[in-house]
Structure 1
């Protein structure tokens, strides 16, 4: 009996010890901005001996690997374990962190929830030093008073409750200037990736008589002395690059590298409005002209599944290849009479139609205004034009052989389309991803390092087709579902 009691006592002590060892749970990381620097921290707790932070900017961790910024902290300051970096963060950066904590001689590791810089809220009472500036966001606008019963919606907007059928966003482009509280220009060169378009995005949109007009122009208006192989381009402080400023903000022609042949515009609501699930309506007249295409997009706000190669997805509310006539080698018509809607999950041209639905008309979609609608819910994407549904795409992208991405298995059935997205409007030209090499009369090959130069050299053939090259938008509306 004495032996049994001793054993019972020993087991109880062991269990108690194990409980203490594994009771520690790494808390959520706190992010703070300090001028041109930032720090991350966790609160101190009795038993913590040191803490290591590994941090990636706009790139999720695949495992417990070394981060873009990393360091081990051996002493807490003001009851927090703090790691400081001298890197400046942009409002649209997403920060990924994993933490290693030595607690009572044991090691604990955990991935933190991704932190979107523009959404980070810090309690003023928790600020460590008076000279630290914390990141805040604007208070979401209140829901308009409603007399009818508010039915819960599938749609989510951060911390705001919405009602089914509620008009969440409406832009009618009144006035003479872009509403900067809703829209911002992208001023940048496209990244030099597998589908980079042949353009420079700048601030050349116009608003007149309640219409947004984005019209692309040939470099230097194709004056006799214009040459994309000479000169240099540096966007300076105006540049809105968010991945690689060396590529997106500057270009010096040499060899096969040329200046962008086309000047155009691209605007978005990333800083002001994003949502998860809903119905989007855009009334627009699409561009007409060879090798142009409209950008009526929903793009990921936080890029939680990664920033490269459409890892976090892109939704196309409406898309056409704006050529007046465009045929494949087999005679299939792919020009402006064929309307597409769908998802982009890979950069390569050969995969562009894998998640697209389409409908065709006798007339080019740039001849007149149409209402383009995307309904996005937790099971599928559905597409309409002028109130007529023409197709839908079911979720389950993580299991699809073309779109498969391991990171999506951590999301729901619609991953990567299970996060908040924002609205983008613009016009692009050329590129390596939206025009297959199977198209007749295409003056460049997608794999050619001279693609943009060859496109430019063929302008005598395509510029005469740019009779109505502008994207003209009447309104944009988003409704809760």
Structure 2
């Protein structure tokens, strides 16, 4: 389990015991440069049960700490894909090894030359185990009571959890999903802040069977500004004006858009049933792959701030990301700005997610995020690709959100192949037209000309989107949260 920590001093790195002769001695720590990543390792030996690596690059924060609990291929190895080493970098590495003969420590320094060759220097080499006092400190670090806090049904649990204890599990074995709430509202009837996607959310586009949750977006059959309809069992979300703005669609001057939501989709959350502060969340899922789609696989705070909306995205990739084999993850902060002309709010992004540039877009993947009071780190299929310091900005209960979004004014940059323009009130109209009429059943993006049935002299050119196939469905087979 890897953490990104601020510069701290571990007392167990410099405490030594009595001067007796012991059989075990930690060999020199090996550093390997492999493309854009690096590894540090020591060889396996009978009697080792765990290795904790503490890595400092150029005497800068954050310090990387990785607890390795199993050897692989004859080595106790710590891999770092998100921290590329550059020419002339200096890396200080300490390893703490729990061995059957005791607790051992070693510190080496590695200098990366201008030609990317490595020069080693031994700083501390201990042939004797660390004394009992220091060993107890290290043991408490590994086996300490966690900082994880849990809320169930709106009440914080008072119990103290053990490290790696399972605190939430969803295997999608029940149709009714008692731990989850379905979002039921229309984004197109929002207050006009243009921070949401182009969907109407209901339970109809979600299905549970064979131990998996399937969320399938679909193009709406509601056409034109004269459509009128209601979302049944509508629940008005926070940060919106009255419930009539989110539950009913009809032409109104109060609305930001003069067109129905072009996409039907689904979104579920554990808001009100389960939330947590600090933990390791693992989600096995596929990502939706279709023009202008993206997943909601994220955490949101229980207490929403309407002027500054925070999200922690566990896994994120738009259709444009997937075309380039990119996966992203990280905190997202949306800051409200006031449009002086309309007196409405619009949002700008204050943060940017980290990127994995070699993501396999097909099949199920394990998306993991580790969240502590010191930092956050992101993994795909057990390999870390990003980390971030937690400066106290993320220290409150968050709940889990799963869903599929489409379009919007924040996730897709304006390009010549994109049917709509960010911030325009015609966005819903052009998005919907790119999938219907002469654009229906397209398997590639192109322009087409729609002829008016009543007046053949009226021709309108539209930019088409590709029809969604089976890969547009997001499938989730498990969600687990562990204490840290």
> TM-score, with normalisation over the residues of structure 1?
0.57
Aligned to 2:186: 189
1:379, distance to aligned residue in structure 2 (A): 2.0
Is 1:420 paired with 2:416? no
Task: Return closer, same or farther for 1:448/1:238 CA change in 2, 3 Å cut-off.
Answer: closer
2-structure distance, mates of 1:258, 1:347: 26
Out of 446, 464, 469, the residue aligned to residue 422 of structure 2 is 446
Distance in 2, Cα, partners of 1:201 & 1:362: 29
1:314 to 311, 321, 346: 311
| Correspondence for 1:231 | 227
SS across alignment from 1:345: strand
C-alpha contact 1:264 1:428 (8 A) present in aligned 2: yes
Alpha carbons of structure 1 residues 434 and 353: separation in structure 2 relative to 1, 3 Å: farther
Q: Which residue of 2 aligns with 1:260?
A: 261
Q: Distance in 2 between matches of 1:391 and 1:227?
A: 43
Question: Take 2:370 and 2:295, find their aligned partners in 1: how far apart are those partners?
Answer: 19
Corresponding position of 1:169 = 168
Contact 2:334/2:347 (<8 A) preserved: no
The 8 Å contact of residues 318 and 341 in structure 1, kept in 2 or not, is answered as yes
Q: Which residue of 368, 372, 386 maps to 1:377?
A: 372
Which whole-Å CA distance do the structure 2 matches of 1:278 and 1:336 have between them? 31
Match of 1:473 in 2: 476
What is the root-mean-square deviation in Å for CA atoms of aligned residues?
2.4
Paired position in structure 1 for 2:146? 153
Contact 1:289 1:467 survives alignment (8 Å): no
Q: Give structure 2 stretches of 5+ with no counterpart.
A: 1-141, 151-155, 337-345, 440-463
Residue in structure 2 matched with residue 456 of structure 1 by the alignment: 432
Q: Give the whole-Å Cα distance in 2 for the aligned partners of 1:350 and 1:368.
A: 33
- Does 1:360 find its partner at 2:338? no
More helix by share: 1
Q: Kindly indicate whether the alpha-carbon contact (under 8 Å) linking 1:380 and 1:414 is maintained by their aligned counterparts in 2.
A: no
Determine the structure 1 residue equivalent to 2:330: 342
Q: 1:379 to 1:252 in 2, by over 3 A?
A: same
Name the structure 2 match of 1:392: 387
Task: Give the number of equivalent residue pairs.
Answer: 292
* Structure 1 residues 473 and 194, CA gap change in structure 2 (3 angstroms): same
Q: What pairs up with 1:326-341 in 2 under 5 angstroms?
A: 326=320, 335=323, 337-341=325-329
- What is the match of residue 18 of structure 1? none
**In 1, distance between residues paired with 2:366 and 2:333?**
25
SS in 2 for 1:248: helix
Is the CA contact (8 Å cut-off) linking 1:355 and 1:393 kept in structure 2?
no
SS in 1 for 2:157: coil
Higher-strand-fraction structure: 2
| Cα deviation 1:194-244 (Å, max 9, x = unaligned) | 322110010021011001000001112xxxxx5143321323543343332
- The whole-number CA distance in structure 2 between the counterparts of 1:390 and 1:169 is 24
| Cα distance in structure 1, aligned partners of 2:288 and 2:324 | 9
Is residue 2:405 matched to residue 1:432? no
Structure 1 gaps of 5+ residues are 1-148, 221-225, 327-332, 396-412
Alpha-carbon deviations, 1:443-462, whole Å to 9, x = none? Answer: 11112111111111112232
Q: Report if the CA contact (8 A) 1:270-1:301 is conserved.
A: yes
2:262 and 2:428 in contact (8 A); partners too: yes
**Do the aligned partners of 1:212 and 1:473 also contact (CA within 8 Å) in 2?**
yes
